[in-house]
């Protein structure tokens, strides 16, 4: 009997142990079920155009700065999140990031976490470019030396250098003073200042020169400068041309000067005599000198700068017809002047005899009065 009761007691203990085991196991099973659903809901990486965002895990914000000039109105981020979580909007889905966007991560256990994503664009740096890229005047391109910061231009010889309007191209976002198109006096080299967007500046020096006139033959005699101008002009036009060059039509004061000018003009100046002939001077070739009797017939004056302030050197027609020098001043008229057809008022130095075929009226190096509206080459004299 005692053995039976012992056995029963034993059985009761086993039953208790079994029950306890089952309960524990059940409880354990229950707690294992809830542990399987993950609460994790982090964004672990967030990048746009390969630029990684900075994730603030405390404030749940993400900031990204994209390269300057990036269009942020439609960008597709690459997003990594916690295992078993999901994110909305999805990774790879294009968004307009003009304003902050909220991304919601949902954990496996359905709990959620919001992240605010702020995208900004790097401000474009201020340009330091300050170059003159092109500089032209009247379609002539200047030669730019970037190392010396100089620009040189050579313009046609008759250009008025005192009022020119350059066309200028400069670096983007830069400015220039004086501005393109402004009328400038280039008599002296001119400073142009280019200022970059960032405020730095540099100065270019522009030098404008005029082409040499290939029609001018220059020589010196007795320490004075002369020019033979191989452009056919009336006496007045020739005088104006001489004045514009700060000279005057040559005034011959003695035989040596006459010989020197004739020699240079006939031997060295390269004149094609057929281009400077006077029909009313026997068809011969001539060069204008500074004398005329325009103001008063028969009153010959040296007035090479045509200012009316003249030196009277001859009165009347040829010597054989009663003409006389004034104050013993030099002349080389020969048989002239004759005021042929009553309209010969300009003094010309003959390069050939006249008339051209016979020469019975005059010879090369002598003077003749011819119509002052003839178009002839001329000689300029300069006071040094």
Min separation Cβ 232 and Ca ion, Å? 19
φ and ψ at 69, to 5 degrees? 70, 10
Asked whether 318 and 309 are in contact (CB, 8 A), the reply is: no
Q: Please identify, using beta-carbon distances, which residue of 113 and 368 lies nearer to Ca ion.
A: 368
Q: How far, in Å, CA of 63 to CA of 82, rounded?
A: 19
Q: How far, in Å, CA of 310 to CA of 179, rounded?
A: 47
Min separation Cβ 175 and Ca ion, Å? 54
Q: Please identify, using beta-carbon distances, which residue of 344 and 374 lies nearer to Ca ion.
A: 344
Min separation Cβ 219 and Ca ion, Å? 13
Min separation Cβ 185 and Ca ion, Å? 33
Q: How far, in Å, CA of 209 to CA of 155, rounded?
A: 6
Asked whether 159 and 185 are in contact (CB, 8 A), the reply is: no
- Residues in contact with Ca ion by the rule CB under 5 A: 251, 253, 293, 336, 338-340, 344-345, 368-369
Q: Please identify, using beta-carbon distances, which residue of 148 and 254 lies nearer to Ca ion.
A: 254
Asked whether 95 and 165 are in contact (CB, 8 A), the reply is: no
Q: Please identify, using beta-carbon distances, which residue of 77 and 304 lies nearer to Ca ion.
A: 304
Min separation Cβ 177 and Ca ion, Å? 48
What number of other Cβ atoms are within 10 A of residue 382's Cβ? 16
φ and ψ at 28, to 5 degrees? -60, -45
Smallest Cα–Cα separation from 170: which of 216, 136, 140, 139? 136
Smallest Cα–Cα separation from 231: which of 56, 59, 86, 376? 376
Min separation Cβ 254 and Ca ion, Å? 8
Min separation Cβ 283 and Ca ion, Å? 12
And the tokens for 34? 């809830």
- Run of H or E residues at 18: helix 2-35
């Amino acid at each position: 009997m005692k053995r039976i009761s012992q056995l029963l007691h034993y059985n009761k203990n086993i039953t208790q142990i079994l029950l306890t085991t089952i309960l524990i196991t059940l409880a354990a099973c229950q707690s294992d079920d809830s542990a399987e659903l993950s609460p994790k809901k982090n964004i672990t990486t967030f990048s746009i155009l390969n630029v990684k965002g900075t994730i603030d895990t405390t404030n749940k914000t993400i900031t990204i700065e994209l390269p300057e000039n990036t269009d942020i109105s439609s960008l597709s981020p690459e997003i990594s999140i916690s295992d078993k979580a999901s994110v909305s909007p999805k990774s790879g889905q294009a968004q307009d990031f003009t304003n902050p966007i909220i991304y919601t991560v949902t954990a496996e256990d359905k709990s959620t976490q919001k992240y605010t994503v702020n995208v900004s664009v790097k401000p474009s740096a201020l340009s330091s470019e300050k170059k003159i890229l092109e500089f032209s005047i009247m379609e002539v391109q200047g030669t730019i030396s970037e190392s010396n910061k100089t620009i040189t231009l050579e313009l046609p010889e008759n250009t008025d250098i005192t009022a020119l309007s350059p066309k200028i191209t400069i670096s983007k976002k830069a400015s220039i003073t004086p501005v393109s198109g402004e009328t400038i006096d280039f008599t002296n080299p001119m400073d142009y200042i280019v200022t970059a967007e960032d405020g730095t500046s540099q100065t270019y020096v522009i030098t404008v020169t005029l082409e040499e006139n290939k029609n001018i033959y220059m020589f010196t005699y007795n320490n004075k400068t002369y020019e033979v101008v191989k452009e056919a002009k009336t006496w007045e036009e020739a005088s104006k041309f001489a004045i514009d060059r700060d000279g005057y039509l040559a005034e011959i004061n003695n035989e040596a000067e006459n010989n020197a000018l004739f020699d240079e003009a006939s031997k060295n100046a390269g004149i094609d005599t057929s281009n400077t002939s006077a029909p009313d001077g026997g068809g011969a070739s001539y060069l204008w000198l500074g004398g005329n009797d325009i103001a008063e017939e028969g009153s010959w004056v040296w007035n090479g700068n045509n200012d009316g302030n003249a030196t009277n050197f001859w009165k009347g027609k040829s010597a054989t017809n009663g003409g006389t020098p004034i104050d013993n001043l030099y002349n080389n008229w020969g048989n002239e002047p004759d005021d042929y057809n009553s309209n010969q008022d300009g003094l010309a130095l003959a390069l050939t005899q006249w008339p051209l075929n016979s020469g019975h009226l005059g010879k090369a190096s002598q003077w003749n009065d011819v119509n002052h509206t003839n178009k002839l080459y001329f000689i300029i004299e300069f006071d040094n």
